[in-house]
Amino acid sequence: MSNQNRDWFQILAIVSAIPKLISDYGFTIEEASYFTVIPPIGMVIAAPIFCKLADKIGRKYTLLTTGTLHAVSWILTAFAKTIWIFYLSRLFYGIADAALFAALPPYIAEVSTPKIRSLFGNAMVVSIVFGQFLSNCIGFYFSIQNSAFIMLAIPVLFLITFYFMPDTPYYLIMINDIDAAKRSLQKLRYCKNVDVELKQLIQDVHRQLSESGAFKNLWLIESNRKAIIVANLCRFFQQLSGFGSLVVYSQLIFQEAGLGISNGVASMIVSGILAFINLFANFISDRIGRKTSMIISCSGCGIMLLGEAVYFYLQANTVVDLAPINWFPVVALVGYTCIFCVGLGVVPTLMLGEIFSTSIRKHAATVSNMAFGIYVCILTKMFQLMMSSFGLWVPFLMFSLCCFVSSVISYFIVLETKGKTLEQIQQMLKGNLK
């Protein structure tokens, strides 16, 4: 076995969940390495089912399914004794993510006014990163079993509270339950007189539903085709930035910096920064606009990643003394995380809920969510292969170049949806509104 391959197993061993799995349950590194692969596979398999369910049973009950699946995942983790039960837990987690991505973006978009959607459309990303931060903190101090019991409280609390929330007026109009749509609007707007908005929503939904919802029209109708291309390119750019891989290997970066920070603390620091910055990311993106925030975010991330690539190249291939700047990888990682959040971390998720017509949304969501799972699988594996074969600087360089290219393309394809209703966005896609 080559030195590089041996290095790969050392790198893999410091990923946050793996040391505890190995020490507490005696699993091998190879067995534990599949934990990052199974969830996106589950997401790809389940995406078509939940995208259809979101239109069949509604956004609300699809989201309640998400809570149930996450609860099952934590229960399996809490009682798991064999690697196969852990694998099953991760599969349920991926299936739950499929339900989440199918229902939450449209739910947020359809229950909110343009102003609220602009300010809080990032709620899904904020929730995910806060969940990561919380699980890292709990996992640092408790065993895997006890951590799972503690985390189980979150989906249970969600199921209890969200049950009393209304479904979206858009969905209720789709199924011709106008009375329920009115009650939903009254509850959401905290106002009895919603007749004007309800009338406009009925017109908007009926106009969108009058368009053919056949799967082929996702590609044949120009506005639908433009929407699916924009949404998927934005999510592709998000993954090409290397964010998923960079967060997974953040502990390695702290270790390479030689700051004497433990792996667990490093995970908490990175996820804590992510959670804090995401609280304000939507406000920044809304102020400067979707297109501008994407361009700035892609360019800034490219610069930070290029700096990381140069540092690790010098470390691996030269005798340059980097001790005076051993802090640089951590500073660049923090800078990258902040810049990522205000554009690449916000805009792709917003687009999922904003730019698809009601008639075609389930098909568009199916394609987008399956593509997302494939992106995650391929790019995570690509990162691993490049790192083990050539060194850490090569994937950083590749992701840096991808960010610069993404910045240029974003200038031409990202829609400025700030302050616009869902119907106005459809008219933009049709070329009837600028």
Look up the pTM and report it. Answer: 0.74
pLDDT of residue 12: 40
Separation in Å, CA 284 to CA 258, 278, 294: 33, 10, 11
Coil/strand/helix, residue 419:
coil
Closest CA to 227 of 45, 359, 408, 110: 359
Total number of residues shown for the chain? 434
For the chain, what is the largest distance between any 2 Cα atoms, rounded to a whole number of angstroms?
Answer: 73
Q: What angle do CA 295, 349, 393 make, to 5 degrees?
A: 55
Contact 218, 363 (CB under 8 A): yes
Show pLDDT as tens, one digit a residue, over the chain (434 residues).
444 343 433 334 334 455 566 556 667 666 766 777 788 888 888 888 998 898 899 999 999 999 999 999 999 999 988 889 999 999 999 899 889 888 888 888 888 877 776 666 667 777 777 777 888 788 778 888 898 899 999 999 999 999 999 999 989 998 999 999 999 989 988 888 888 989 988 988 888 777 766 778 778 888 888 888 888 888 889 888 888 767 666 666 676 666 666 666 777 777 787 778 877 777 787 788 888 999 999 999 999 999 989 988 998 888 888 888 888 888 888 888 889 888 888 888 878 777 887 777 778 888 888 888 788 777 777 777 777 778 778 888 999 999 999 999 999 988 888 778 778 888 888 877 66
pLDDT of residue 256: 63
The alpha carbon of residue 77 and the mean position of all alpha carbons in its chain are separated, in whole angstroms, by 22
pLDDT of residue 121: 62
Report the alpha-carbon distance of residue 329 to residue 85 in Å, rounded.
Answer: 37
Report which residue type is found at 341. Answer: C
* Location of structure tokens 């020490």: 23
Supply 52's token pair.
Answer: 């259809």
Report the alpha-carbon distance of residue 388 to residue 245 in Å, rounded.
Answer: 13
Coil/strand/helix, residue 201:
helix
pLDDT of residue 76: 94
- C-alpha gyration radius of the chain: 22
Question: If phi over 0 gives left and psi between -120 and 50 gives alpha, with beta otherwise, what is residue 212?
Answer: beta
Report the alpha-carbon distance of residue 262 to residue 257 in Å, rounded.
Answer: 12
Report which residue type is found at 276. Answer: F
pLDDT of residue 3: 42
Report the alpha-carbon distance of residue 324 to residue 302 in Å, rounded.
Answer: 24
Contact 314, 320 (CB under 8 A): yes
Supply 230's token pair.
Answer: 């924009």
- Reduced DSSP (H G I as helix, E B as strand, rest coil) percent helix, strand, coil of the chain, to 5: 80, 0, 20
